[in-house]
């Protein structure tokens, strides 16, 4: 069982209305949001932040944002968020080759140098201690403007929150996310782990 049980989707009307956003991104409302409803101000603030961070404002595509989220979640080790991020990348049109080779983004020909810079930044920013340095800054500015860098870091920071929340909570992973995790990440050892809904 998770640390705290999720509440019913009808528990808080405002959260329920806002959470329709996730029907597009994932095809379901995440159990993490249903758990945040124990304090509705948190669930509502989180959904609004998620919507703001994931909005398309420039050249950082929805698919790339979800791949950034995957790299960040992989760095932190949160299996729940890894599966959610790869599922959302698929739903937002990431190329099949990129989904199949996300583990090899640094060398696979399907990734551009701009994408590699963004994904490397995600990895460095998600490490503890933080690995962001002058070299990655120079690479980012080679391909992205300041607003786009803010968007990229917004995704990394959002998933820093989610990685801590879901790994500490032991959030039970939803079946759709399990399917995506097994399809794209299973060959590299992904499994539900503590998110399987069994004993914490």
Distance, CA of 26 to CA of 156 (rounded, Å): 18
List Cα–Cα distances, 180 to 117, 162, 186, in angstroms.
25, 18, 9
Q: What is the pLDDT of residues 62-111, one digit of tens each?
A: 999 999 999 999 999 999 999 999 999 999 999 999 999 999 999 999 99
Q: How large is the C-alpha radius of gyration of the chain?
A: 16
**Res 198 pLDDT > 70:** no
Q: What is the pLDDT of residues 114-173, one digit of tens each?
A: 999 999 999 999 999 999 999 999 999 999 999 999 999 999 999 999 999 999 999 999
Distance, CA of 83 to CA of 4 (rounded, Å): 21
CATH of domain 23-194: 1.20.1290.10
The vertex-140 CA angle with 119 and 164, nearest 5°, equals 40
Report domain extents, the chain.
23-194
């Amino acid at each position: 069982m998770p640390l705290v049980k999720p509440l019913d989707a009808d528990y808080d009307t405002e959260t329920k209305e806002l959470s329709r956003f996730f029907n597009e991104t994932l095809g379901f409302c995440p159990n993490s949001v249903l758990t945040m409803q124990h304090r509705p101000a948190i669930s509502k603030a989180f959904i609004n932040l998620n919507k703001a961070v994931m909005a398309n404002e420039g050249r950082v595509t929805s698919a790339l944002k979800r791949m950034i989220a995957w790299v960040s979640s992989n760095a932190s080790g949160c299996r729940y968020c890894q599966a959610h991020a790869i599922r959302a990348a698929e739903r937002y049109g990431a190329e099949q080759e990129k989904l199949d080779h996300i583990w090899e983004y640094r060398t696979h020909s399907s990734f551009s140098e701009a994408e590699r810079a963004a994904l490397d930044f995600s990895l460095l920013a998600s490490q503890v201690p933080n690995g962001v340095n002058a070299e990655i800054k120079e690479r980012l500015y080679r391909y992205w403007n300041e607003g786009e860098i803010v968007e990229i870091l917004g995704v990394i920071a959002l998933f820093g929150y989610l990685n801590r929340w879901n790994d500490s909570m032991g959030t039970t992973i939803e079946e759709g996310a399990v399917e995506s995790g097994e399809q794209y990440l299973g060959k590299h050892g992904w499994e539900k782990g503590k998110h399987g809904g069994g004993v914490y």
